[in-house]
Amino acid sequence: MALRDDVLRVRVWKGDAVPEDASWAVLPEARSSGVQVVAEPHGFATRQLRVTLDDQLRLTVADLAGKVVQEDAAPVRWVGTRFTVSKKRTSNDHFFGLGDKPGPLDRAGEAFTMWNTDSFNWQESTDPIYKSIPFFLEISEGRTLGVFLDNTWRTDFDFGHADPAEYTFGAVNGPLDYYLIYGPEPKQVVTDWAWLTGPTPLPPLWSLGFQQSRYTYFPGSQLREVADRFRKDRIPCDVLWLDIDFQHENWPFTINEQAFPDFNGMVRDLESEYFKLVVITDLHVAKQPNVGYAPYDSGVAGDHFVKRPDGSTYVGKVWPGPAVFPDFTQSQTRQWWGTLYKSFIADGVAGFWNDMNEPSVFDGPGGTMPNDVRHRIDEPGFRKRTATHVEIHNIYGMLNSRGTYEGELAFRPNERPFVMTRATFAGGQRYSATWTGDNSSSWNHMRMSVPQLINLGLSGLSLSGADVGGFAGSPPPDLLTKWIELSAFQPIDRDHSAKGTRMHEVWVDGPEHEAIRRRYIEERYRLMPYLYTVAEETSHDGLPIDRPLFLEFPHAIENGTPLDITTGGSEFLFGSRILVAPNPSPEEIAPYTVHLPPGTWYNYWTGERFTRGKSGGPLDLEQRDAVIAQKDLSITPTLEQLPVYVRGGTILPIAPLTQSTAETPTGPLTLRVYPLAPGIDTPGESCAGEVYTDDGHSFDFRKGIFARIDFTCSMRADGSVSVTIGKQEGTWKPWWHEYRVEVVGWTPKSGSGLIDGSETSLTQVGERWGVTVPANARGTRIDLR
């Protein structure tokens, strides 16, 4: 069936009984969508695709020009309840997605299993790990197709590992129900994926600031000391985290009152210093009857825990010892779970951390619940029934975070919730941010964080991060410094470490390292208007914050492969305008190559301009001696350097430095203009920018209480630059009272400018010339000559 002209749904079953038509991942409004199709012999056509079935029920999908987009390699294979779908593959096919599976960015030649697993100290070859996102992108000969297998059981994906001529996906049981999402551009596939399963919501602004965590800060005085040191050393930070030791004997939703004697007062004190507090709330409720432990007592009274086949409550060993587990497939259980947050929310805790929700069970088979544990599905859109754990396992963590998200909303209906989850399923981005779990303090794990976060973003989970410095182990000073540099350009920037490791805080390795680390954290805060604008865009179109080069440059091909494959997946885009190029072998000091996409690029730190031809080669720059033209850049790595570049044609909003996103910046909003080069860039390419802002925490933006302002620029043949500030959309009053308009890589000829025709003088800040104009100058044209 065709949900849209570019989105198809395929369902296959054996026998006469039609399987239940329900989904935990796909939005109801998307599943019920449909478009008119034209019936054809052996199939049908939409306005974009032609679908045919042969006499063996092999499926072929082609575009209307006849180019095959996807073709079955064989009929569906059934072995009992297990099924396998086979598709033809060539050596030029590339595959991306599947969440945070370790390994290369491109999944080609690899095989994976979806079965959420607590994988402490996982390595590059470890599979499975924490998440099950059975969605991937196939890029072949410039065309992109998204594939989503909507099946919650244990599933398998093979991208030519067993047979280079085909790729396969299948499951041990459950529905054969999959979706095909056609681009042909990868951006369209990712946007359609967000339409199907929902985008990442706009997060609270504070969640984009720097975050400091440890397993664990204990007692409460240590957390206060960490907060004080951040402010004393003028290192920007927004969030502090508490791991399980703040609880009474690891019982969720309790407080160790000896170690944290005035928890409410501590939260208020942190708030007064512009810190938000996030605390862990694991789902394993301690089995502690008759002692006044409300989560257990109320859960038993409401019959909210999963059962054994004989009807007794399942008990497994986790951090508190014997524990019971909520039955999140019941909507009433998720509602009950949400009520458990009442006390923490009343204390002012800002966000919650759902860990161990694969679920992890220390004495369970394979480290989880037995397959025969019973879950009772009682959910709108589903048939009321009992299911075994093998069906529910992969969605258990997502339903846990959904219960937390909805609980926060119930108590704070006009505040954007913040939930961090370790385990999730497709669609889980609607409820939570995520991270890559218990990584290690190694150069390789830092390197792997880039392809992991890119593939998470392509899978819908745009708000994601990796434990900075590595969770397991003690990073040497240089590693921690380089990781803090890198994470400044990743969506979630959280430094976290395990018990028994050395401390990871920014200042631990002396003033030289602290100064470098502070510089990069400060740069993240200066870029906060840009980052928040990208996050707001993500909440509409689903395009991730960290993204691969092919998302913006789908036709930038080198040696027949996407540019990301040429770079080894080490380079990435931070939003659509900033390119980050870390060392692909970060432990080495040998020079490495940066492959810039076509067009004009500027060194973010120095303003130096580079260009690259549309075919990947250098441009003829005979009369443009100010421009350095070369195919690739050779970088000699240093401790303090992370190469960052800005795309020509960008107007980047830059804020004055603050120590927290809760502080109001003092000074103008800088509009840093990176002009296109006349005669170099493609005619018609735009020079533009945008800034979005609101109160940073509520849903008032839904009522039009926000500010969105567009900017445009052009460079004329005489060398003058024109910038136009658009009229504001929305009713929110931004914090800035002035704009500082600066042009990168440009020297004025006259040193003067015009603001709507009125003469003004230009001023120089560092290497950049510009002019300051009032913030109410919307609809204003600024000419710099």
DSSP class per residue in 297-312: HHHHHTT-B-B-TTSS
The residues, ordered by sequence, that sit 6+ positions from 16 with a Cβ below 8 Å of its Cβ are none
Residue whose token pair is 């996807």: 70
Q: Which of 93, 118, 438, 571 is catalytic?
A: 438
Q: Give yes or no for a contact between 214 and 504, defined as CB atoms under 8 angstroms apart.
A: yes
Task: Report the candidate in 152, 135, 131, 122 with the shortest Cα–Cα distance to residue 96.
Answer: 135
List CB contacts of 780: < 8 A, sequence separation 6 or more: 724, 725, 755, 756, 773
Cα separation, 601 vs 386, whole angstroms: 57
- Residue by residue, DSSP assigns 670-696 as EEEEEPPPTTTSPTT---EEEEEE--S
Amino acid letter, 251: W
H/E segment holding residue 506? none
* Residue in 355, 467, 564, 571 annotated catalytic: 355
Q: Spell out a b/e string for 26-39, using b for 16 or more CB atoms within 10 Å of the CB, else e.
A: bbeebbebeeebee
Sign of CA dihedral 32, 35, 36, 41: negative
Q: Is 438 a catalytic residue?
A: yes
Distance CA 686, CA 20 (A): 49
What is the rounded CA–CA span in Å between residue 557 and residue 141? 10
Picking from 420, 391, 390, the residue whose alpha carbon sits closest to that of residue 405 is: 420
Active site residue 358: yes
Residue type, 571: E
Q: Tell me the C-alpha distance between 400 and 334, whole Å.
A: 7
Q: Which helix (H) or strand (E) covers residue 518, if one does?
A: helix 511-526
Q: 435 and 448 in contact (C-beta within 8 Å)?
A: no
- Taking the C-alpha atoms of residue 165 and residue 168, their distance in angstroms, rounded to an integer, is 10
Active-site choice (358, 408, 681, 783) = 358
Give per-residue burial for 654-667: e unless 16+ CB within 10 Å, then b: bbbbbbbbbeebee
355 included as an active-site residue: yes
Task: Tell me which residue of 470, 468, 465, 479 sits closest to 501, measured CA to CA.
Answer: 470
Helix (H, G, I), strand (E, B) or coil at 765: strand
DSSP class of residue 583 equals -
Q: Please list, in sequence order, all residues whose beta carbon lies within 8 angstroms of the beta carbon of residue 214, skipping any fewer than 6 positions away.
A: 241, 243, 496, 497, 503, 504
As a whole number of Å, the CA-based R_g of the chain is 27
Q: Give the active site residues.
A: 355, 358, 438
